[in-house]
Chain A
């Protein structure tokens, strides 16, 4: 298990004896997404950042279609990281799909977690009968096509350069769209697993204080979905943000951090 930290490119910061906060990025990017929010918590929390396997600077060779054919594969990694670092009473902050990964990690190892922050969560993106997820199957097919269209610019020769220079951002800056890039096959598969999962039934299993952060005008996780999550997690807190879009931690880091801060005790 020693290589879990390398495999998931785990980076530690903040106050070593503070309450641990584990930040999990969503589909499409990597741990860099948290750069504007993390400083708000460094003074009194132990900060744990990581990349999901297949994203950012994680070990791409560890990616296995079978393991990551379900969000549970990602949840198991979260648990492994927490165990490796011997974390307790973790505040898990998950964006988008990682909010649901947090739910599954809690199921697997409830003893590790003390609070859950879900930013733009959706337990199921595809509409199903009376349930509104916001997407039709055709929409998802269109998304997969959009991913394919943008991967045409992907060059395999560039991959090692991109992956190999995390400590030299000036080199990476030379490359166009250098963030959030990864192997097309992995991206496509992650997209499928993200947008075609149905974890509605898992919501009820959450028994830690939970915050649902809902953006305005979020096309990916509309308010009705956020409300659904809130209603199905017993005792959860629902906070509507003024921030628009799907990435409030990028577009409105202060508001986002403040909402989280207000939720956390002390």
Chain B
């Protein structure tokens, strides 16, 4: 639009038009000097050769002060670098730049935000001659842009934080154990803060000693050097719990810290950490521990933008995030602990159940303690020692270590019975005091105080014992012995729950030992009784060679009612008997004793064997014998070999002549204790050199459950013995027919007519 068009419109006052014309016929110099933008020209190296007043006024310098100065020297440091790295190359290569954001530095040092456009004037060969630049003030626009950028960054930060929190919550939902929780918290918080490392340290109060300083246990540490953590714990010490209440704290590596906590500062410096952020972990006001974040230069090998000695400020939003993570962690920890407690109870119940099962299966005290010791080192502790009070005094029947490779050390312990006089030994104290002794932290002084000698001390040191629990085996107020368990430093100390398990186990073990000791007593008594009831040795008889054997059953308290008897009768006659009272207990043994006495009494009348059977059958109810029995009775004329045998339900004897063995067909009558019947006899002659074998069924039932197989085996063994010496034959038969375990007693009587 031109002025003449305006004039043609006819509206404005001619004088005004004249003024407008004058104004519009710009003085080019005035237009240049006072244009609403900075205007300047430089030679290629940036030296200003022409500049307008607007620019000079903006930066507060006169034109004389500006001319000859390089344009880049009027810029902020960041602007200068940008000028050199971007603006210069761009101008050279594309001849022009537009809307470059730069900060000019005014004479008073204040920055002036500008946008610059520039063109490069070139000669015909393309070489640069001059740069013309226009500069627009852009303070408001740049402020707006900065705010926009800040808002965008804040939004991104906020999104990142809420994402972090989301992930923490969802990860924690899947965390079952305290270790799981710690892993989530450590990883996520480290990520969120881009920290060098993170560690979760829990406060653990001692339930047995509420007065004691709470222990600080690092549950998980990732990237936080051990010595930093240790020094932090040292520095915080017992006050940590109090400190926790103060919220998220930053411990920066400053001169102050170097002065106050030199060890901590040194550890941080060595790890190139700038600060530690300590976040309380709590649940419902209970302070459970702290999350420690170790921050260093996040740029890795790059130089930190933070001045050395200045801790980087933690943004409020980050503090809030960490605080929330701490509380989430606290709740998750409580949940995990509850879960672990339940799991521990289940494990405890299963352990004790397993122990009960093993104890029920054990046959005697020796086996019982071995089984218990094996179970303990498998599930509860590293070392198990069991001491028992016996008739011979205090014995140490079981010493076991988890690691079989340490058997030589364990042997050192086994060979040293509990030193009764060492009143400090926890096992002695438990035995005397009747209560559990728990040594939570074993140190060398303690080991020295309980050691018997140097070898003993060396063995205990080598086992690296960290904790000891001794529980007495108390039954009906009497201490039968003591169960001592120990852990080494690898497994760590016993927990309260472990001690409770040990106590439960000792209770079970005590009852079983008591029962087993009674049982052992009963077995010993029965065998003693039985030994006393049997005749000491067969008498020497002319023309006859006789051997007897009696083998008790090997398992349990099984006491047989088996017996044999050899008695000289008037003339050349001798009486022979072998019998078996039903049952395996003291009653059976007692019945057998009675039966043998009655038999001896009957012999005074000189009855034939058949008559012996008949009389015993008839007299059985009168004698008050409560058990039935089988028996063989025989009489033998040692001069003529005339032999008479009667059987009361007993296996027939074996006759061996000329290397051939056969059963004598003795007609069986009823068992003793059954209603009376007629007892027939086998009557014949035992030839010279022939051998007669009388036995109880233990001999033929030992190897095989099938009695016919047993009989066949007996005949085979008897015919293949190759000897007619009764003693050798006895041994041969027992060797061939019985194993190491016998369910029943065996009585064996072998007689050879020489």
Contacts and interface: CB of A to CB of B under 8 A. Distances in A.
A150 B89 contact: no
Contacts of A27: 85
**Interface residues of A: mostly helix, strand, loop or mixed?**
mixed
A150 B93 contact: no
B102, B146, B305 — most chain A CB neighbours (10 Å): B305
Contacts of B302: 69-70, 192-193, 196-197
Given A139-B77, A153-B99, A196-B302, A26 B85 contact: yes
Given A137-B305, A139-B77, A146-B101, A251 B88 contact: yes
B45 A244 contact: yes
A48 to B, nearest CB: 20
Contacts of A124: 303
B19 to A, nearest CB: 40
Contacts of B80: 219-220
Interface string A197-211: 110000000000000
Interface string B74-90: 00111111101110111
A150 B86 contact: yes
A28 interface: yes
A11 to B, nearest CB: 16
A147 B149 CA distance: 12
A245 B88 contact: yes
B628 interface: no
A213 B396 CA distance: 88
Contacts of B90: 177, 179-180
A126 B304 CA distance: 10
A135 B77 contact: yes
A1 B450 CA distance: 70
A202 to B, nearest CB: 12
A247 B82 CA distance: 12
A149 interface: yes
Interface stretch (A12-20, A29-37, A160-168, A225-233): A29-37
A203 B19 CA distance: 71
Contacts of B89: 28-29, 32-33, 179-180, 247, 250
A40 interface: no
A147 B82 contact: yes
A196 B299 contact: yes
B92 interface: yes
B306 interface: yes
A237 interface: no
A56 to B, nearest CB: 11
Contacts of A150: 82, 86, 100-101
Contacts of B732: none
Nearest to B82: A146
A71 to B, nearest CB: 9
Given A70-B301, A246-B85, A144 B78 contact: yes
A143 B307 CA distance: 16
A142 interface: yes
A22 B312 CA distance: 41
B156 to A, nearest CB: 12
B88 A246 contact: yes
Nearest to A152: B145
Interface residues of A, number: 51
A215 to B, nearest CB: 10
A85 interface: no
A29 B101 contact: no
A245 B85 contact: no
A146 B76 contact: yes
B103 interface: yes
A35 B93 contact: yes
Given A137-B307, A217-B70, A251 B142 contact: no
Contact of A28 (B70, B86, B99): B86
B134 interface: no
A147 B80 CA distance: 11
B123 to A, nearest CB: 15
A197 B45 contact: no
Contacts of B70: 217, 244
A124 B303 CA distance: 9
A157 interface: no
A28 B92 contact: no
Given A179-B89, A250-B89, A126 B303 contact: yes
A246 B80 CA distance: 10
Interface string A244-263: 11110011000000000000
B563 to A, nearest CB: 93
Given A146-B103, A250-B88, 7 more contacts: A124-B303, A177-B90, A220-B80, A245-B46, A245-B72, A246-B85, A251-B44
Interface of B: 44-46, 70, 72, 76-82, 84-86, 88-90, 92-94, 97-103, 142, 145-146, 148-149, 299-307
Closest 9 CB pairs of A and B: A28-B85, A142-B78, A146-B78, A149-B101, A196-B302, A246-B84, A143-B78, A139-B77, A196-B303
11 contacts: A26-B85, A70-B301, A126-B303, A135-B77, A142-B78, A149-B101, A150-B82, A150-B86, A150-B101, A153-B99, A219-B80
Interface of A: 26-29, 32-33, 35-36, 69-70, 96, 124, 126, 135, 137-150, 152-153, 173, 176-180, 192-193, 196-198, 217-220, 244-247, 250-251
